[in-house]
Structure 1
């Protein structure tokens, strides 16, 4: 890729992240191009569809979350690793307003470009959960699919204007509900 094309690509991704954070996944592609200082044709040359743009944006974010799960697992006790990762995953879902629906559809559709990334994210969370369960600090009646759904639910709460101010507190509450209470141990 030519240097100017690479610069446009990176700029478009950075601006798209900002605009989608502000406006959600249905943000105007024209707004993204305008804010990036390029024409709509340039945006379409790099990302022929909204889905292609979202895929590029999300792929990096999902890969970062997957890598983060491994770092947390290696560097922290399982309860802290799981809780921290859950909060970070919920924050990711909230930052990309409206992404819960897209991720749920991608996970259900093996032909989706994001299917494998969403599946790998769910697997990363399931691994952290199993480690915490093996250490006796997480509930045994929760599985990786439940955890993934809870991330989506907590992220959805943050997308709702009436609940947005409580989103972090409620995400922490949900994360703690996955953990065993001291008296259950």
Structure 2
């Protein structure tokens, strides 16, 4: 027999399901990274797989939703650093924060990795776009000051961070390894350029 719930009741149920699925997804992604099982998320949330897919039609959409608060925090941090005296230090401090977030907030690097693929026609890739938008003023100022090569793009920097985070994800001490690789990338391999 069809369910003839009033529209307000259906919307309230949908909002509760969305919130429950997102809360479970945050825990699962934190535990298992971007490959967290959608079926396990559905089971733990007490809903069917179809309900999860209705709210999050792709894994990418789910990772975007899980990562959005972290992206907001990183964007706010970029705004705080935008007028710092040394443009190179401001950019590197922010990138270091992004590396740290990507290593500690499993799933975030996978979300940002979608930045180089065509956007989801419905959901886009708002996280990658937002993080690149946050990087732009810091990068532009550092390039104007001659602290960064003028052909470096925000997408380049995010790809570097994502590579470091994904490459260290299974290391016994991913934070320390990611920090070391980030510093190597910044300094280059030449001993003469070893300053930060």
- State TM-score, norm by structure 2: 0.68
Aligned to 2:4: none
**Is 1:90 the counterpart of 2:99 in the alignment?**
yes
Aligned to 1:47: 56
Q: For structure 1, which segment, 82-91 or 105-114, has the greater mean C-alpha deviation from structure 2 after superposition? A: 105-114
With over 3 angstroms needed to count, the CA separation of the structure-2 counterparts of 1:107 and 1:158, relative to structure 1, is same
| Number of aligned positions between the proteins | 180
With over 3 angstroms needed to count, the CA separation of the structure-2 counterparts of 1:102 and 1:74, relative to structure 1, is same
**Is 1:130 the counterpart of 2:140 in the alignment?**
yes
**Is 1:25 the counterpart of 2:28 in the alignment?**
no
Aligned to 1:118: 128
Q: Secondary structure at the match of 1:25?
A: helix
Match 2:174 to one of 157, 161, 164: 164
Aligned to 1:73: 82
- State TM-score, norm by structure 1: 0.71
**Is 1:173 the counterpart of 2:187 in the alignment?**
no
Instruction: Give the aligned CA root-mean-square deviation in angstroms.
Output: 3.5
**Is 1:109 the counterpart of 2:114 in the alignment?**
no
Deviation of 1:86 after TM superposition, in Å, equals 0.6
With over 3 angstroms needed to count, the CA separation of the structure-2 counterparts of 1:74 and 1:18, relative to structure 1, is farther
CA contact (8 A) 2:103 2:178 kept: no
Question: Please, which runs of 5 or more residues in structure 2 have no aligned partner?
Answer: 1-7
Q: Secondary structure at the match of 2:171?
A: coil
CA contact (8 A) 2:78 2:94 kept: yes
Deviation readout 1:122-155 (Å, 9 max, x if unpaired): 243232122223345x332661233222212221
CA contact (8 A) 1:86 1:175 kept: no
Q: Secondary structure at the match of 2:34?
A: coil
Aligned to 1:155: 165
